[in-house]
Structure 1
Amino acid sequence: MENLDVHEGKTTAIISYITFIGTIIAFIMNNDKHNSFAAFHIRQMIGLSLFSLVNSFIIGRYGGIWASGIIGIGLFVLWIIGFIGATQGEEKKVPFVGDLFQDWFKNIG
């Protein structure tokens, strides 16, 4: 990753981690620039957001509040890892599912 890509895309990458609305805003901001660093983090956050929705609506409803809470804490830890990677200018994939997110959403960016 070139240092210029990281520098130019860092703000957009950080914005992508600020709620789902931030992810949408970052996606729109990156639509014109096509910065690979920002796109990497947008893909990570889209995946985390989708997992969070599944946790809230499906696991929370059918698995119980305890299961949903434990998974929610895990998703929060993954969010922190991704956010720290964005602020430090690293393409750090979230553990366990980061590769999946990059593969599933490879057309984004």
Structure 2
Amino acid sequence: MRQFASLALIAAAIFAPSAAYAENLAFKLENNTSRMIVKFYATPVGGDGKRLELLNKKGLWAGKSRSLTIADGSDACVYTTRAVFEDDSFYDVTNKVDFCESDVYSIEE
């Protein structure tokens, strides 16, 4: 009986449909502009998720990159993003970004 219960738990873990997507999403943000990014926001598409500020007030200098993590506890993969620059201008992504499919995200002028 104990062996059957263990096999059932293993099978449930393997075939759980959303288990792989409920994890944190890690990616590298590349700033390929001439200005410092002071804030970078990500908002899940199609849900009630909140807008997350991922740079945590540390900024990202021009020409640099940083590893970031979206840890909102949702199963979302697709996000809209906004980068705010040091001169208060901003860049909104017109296309949605699938962070489950992409591990590098570049912002260019």
Which is richer in helix? 1
Q: Fold-level match, TM-score > 0.5?
A: no
